[in-house]
Amino acid sequence: MMRARKSLPWIPGILTAAGALACFGMSNNTVVLSGAAPAPSGSSAARPVLPAEPGRYWLERFDGANLAWVAPIGGSGGKVSKVFSVQREDGVTFLHGRHDGRPDADKVGFVHYGKRFDPQGPPLERVRSLRWKWRVRQHPANTTNMWEDVAASVYVIVKPPSVLGGGKGFRFGWLGGPGVKGTYRMGLGRVSLREDPATMEWKSEAVDVCALYREWFGPCEGERLNYVGVATEADGTDSVSEADYTDFELIVEQ
């Protein structure tokens, strides 16, 4: 059954961010990060090639020479590079996020970084699975509201939020403890996939975006996937958070 939407839950967030948030869908601020250092020649550090899979629409393993994603909310190249970098460890390439929000740090505000599907993404009813791997190295210093700052978030946007209204989509979070369930911010459903301590072990996720969209918003037919991105944040709690992301895969029905 579709969840009941709270009355205009996105307005406080929209008004707070109005100065920085023009619109997910209108911004085209491409920020290029350099790739990880190449694996030594002849070493076993190179990642094995994934076998072909029917319906694989998009794959991002962060193993290219450069990463050209967009920063849709006021994220200049300087801001993005203060939070995100492409790194390699034990043969795995990944996007590393570290946000230092302490008062004495040269901190930046909340930064989004992600993949926009241009000119338009796949029809949502054909999307069968969004997969990725992630790990949280350090949770922010949340004490009561675990959504105030989140070390690892994956955003899946169908309808972009704007200064005129809330969007549709999801924020998938790895929280440091139990978080409030079934809430929205800027129109996006907040879904806690994990509420676990920090770890250096990679964890895998797979989400049926269309099925979840039906549960939260209604029919997914006629909608398209717009954006998949990440955020690592600690500015609201004046603390530090750190997380890694890799192996994004989007599987669609052929």
Give me the residue label for tokens 């929280």.
175
> Would you write out the chain's pLDDT as a tens digit for each of its 254 residues?
556 454 333 333 433 343 334 445 445 678 889 887 666 544 555 677 777 788 999 999 999 988 989 987 656 678 899 999 999 999 999 999 999 999 887 878 888 999 999 778 999 999 999 999 999 999 999 888 999 999 999 999 999 888 778 899 999 999 999 999 999 999 999 999 999 999 999 999 999 999 999 999 999 999 999 999 999 999 999 999 999 999 999 999 98
Q: What pLDDT is recorded for position 37?
A: 66
CB 109 within 8 A of CB 80: no
SS3 of 186, please?
coil
Burial classification of residue 147, based on how many CB atoms lie within 10 Å of its CB (0-12 exposed, 13-18 middle, 19 or more buried) = middle
Residue 119 has a CB neighbour count (10 Å cut-off) of 5
SS3 of 76, please?
coil
Q: What pLDDT is recorded for position 40?
A: 58
Where do runs of H (alpha helix) occur along the chain? Answer: 11-16, 77-83, 209-216
Q: Which residues pair with 31 in a beta bridge?
A: 69
* Residues 46, 38: Cα–Cα separation, whole Å: 8
Count of residues in the chain? 254
CB 130 within 8 A of CB 60: no
All domains of the chain, ordered by start, with CATH?
11-35+55-252 (2.60.120)
Q: What pLDDT is recorded for position 54?
A: 85
* Residues 239, 147: Cα–Cα separation, whole Å: 14
Q: Which residues pair with 194 in a beta bridge?
A: 174
Strands 188-195 and 168-175: parallel
Q: What pLDDT is recorded for position 74?
A: 57
CB 83 within 8 A of CB 111: yes
User: C-alpha angle with apex 93: 88 to 95, nearest 5 degrees?
Assistant: 95
CB 229 within 8 A of CB 172: no
